[in-house]
Amino acid sequence: MIDRIYMDWNATAPLLEEARDAMLAALSMPGNPSSVHGEGRAARTLVEKARRQVAGLVGADPAHVIFTATATEAANFVLSPRYRMGRSLLTIGRVYVSAIEHPAVRQGGRFAPDCIVEIPVTRAGVVDLDALGALLADHPAELGMPLVAVMLANNETGIIQPVEAVAKLVRQKGGLLLVDAVQAAGRIAIDMAALDVDFLILSAHKLGGPKGAGAVIARGEALMPEPLVKGGGQEKGHRGGTENLAAIAGFGAAAEYATNDLINRNLEIAALRDALEKGMRSMADDLVIHGAGERRIGNTSFFTLPRLKAETGQIAFDLEGVALSAGAACSSGKVGQSHVLTAMGLDAGVGGLRLSIGTATTLAEIERVVAVFGKIAGRRQASAAAGGRAA
């Protein structure tokens, strides 16, 4: 049997030892964090430690971290047409969402479909600031403040979006900004205050924490969406339900790991990704690497090999022992059309393949993947030369 190589870290990262240890310790704790007795207080201490660890990753105040079950839930919480400021209720009539958002955000949460406006991206895969400026200039005042959602790093291309410039536009209009930092966290330094965003969302499993833990980090506590999950008042009433202690502890440990030595670790990962792309380019002249000229997170390579359908490529890599994605992982396991390539006006009908790596990736793995790539690209050429149809 061939050794498997896992290069799908953007779909989910392997669980870190630090996270596993923290989770195992939490699983042995009997208390409910809301209970006032000693066991409850011990569980509460663990939740608050994780809150500090998660806040530390993005330079936020721990008091502004709200734990959720997933980043998808976090997005649905923030994407609300109803907000509360103290006792007053504010209504938001329209949400502006970039065309390359993850479906968790792109579907607009609790907004009706006709209240969701798409922000286009350029061919380079970057949010079109002029278009956003024009959309916001036309925003009708009677709809209340605009809510804008732009991600920090795209999950398919890895391209880092101009969030600070987006924030300036949103600020001019007195709006609110939601930033999906799920793929950026742990890969680039994030300072929530410097980015000037109102809400940031994170997911534990992209950082080496467990699947099924997410967070919203709010700018402050004055203006908050109506809860999505109502219940026993947990998370200061913003998200009801007994906290998933083990998942939260694992999330905290992964966030702390991600915070430490972030720059050096990511430089090493980027060097491996660059070696991978150099190797692949040397094997196929017609390889198109999406976003290669843009600022990207260092672990991601999203490419199209003309005449190779993404799903065929994915199976071919898998048979050679390499796990990668054809665009974003779809819950059904089916390979969907990449809405990111479509938004970039680049869909050549064959889609794209995404290799994404992480801290455990080695140079030996990179070299083997380049060889596998060469084999697949060569086979494609051979079949085309023999008059075969595009695979």
Interface with ligand PLP by CB under 6 A: which residues? 70-72, 102, 104, 151, 155, 180, 182-183, 203, 214
Phi-psi region of 333 (alpha: psi -120 to 50; beta: other; left: phi over 0): left
The CA distance from 117 to 145, in Å, is: 14
Are 43 and 246 in contact by the 8 Å Cβ rule? The answer is: no
Looking at the chain, list the stretches that DSSP marks H as alpha helix, in order from N- to C-terminal side: 17-27, 38-57, 71-78, 103-106, 129-137, 163-172, 192-195, 245-259, 262-283, 310-319, 339-343, 363-385
Q: Kindly state the smallest distance separating residue 384's Cβ from ligand PLP, in Å.
A: 34
Q: Kindly state the smallest distance separating residue 211's Cβ from ligand PLP, in Å.
A: 7
Q: Kindly state the smallest distance separating residue 102's Cβ from ligand PLP, in Å.
A: 3
The CA distance from 254 to 242, in Å, is: 21
CA distances for 385 relative to 98, 178, 307, angstroms = 41, 50, 12
Q: Which is nearer to ligand PLP, 149 or 377 (CB)?
A: 149
Q: Which is nearer to ligand PLP, 203 or 338 (CB)?
A: 203
Q: Which is nearer to ligand PLP, 77 or 111 (CB)?
A: 77
Burial of 12 (0-12, 13-18, 19+ CB in 10 A): middle
Contacts of 312 (CB under 8 A, 6+ apart): 391
Q: Which is nearer to ligand PLP, 22 or 182 (CB)?
A: 182
Candidate list 330, 360, 371, 390, residue with the active-site label: 330
330 is catalytic: yes
Q: Kindly state the smallest distance separating residue 209's Cβ from ligand PLP, in Å.
A: 10
Q: Which is nearer to ligand PLP, 132 or 201 (CB)?
A: 201
Q: Kindly state the smallest distance separating residue 254's Cβ from ligand PLP, in Å.
A: 13
Catalytic residues: 330
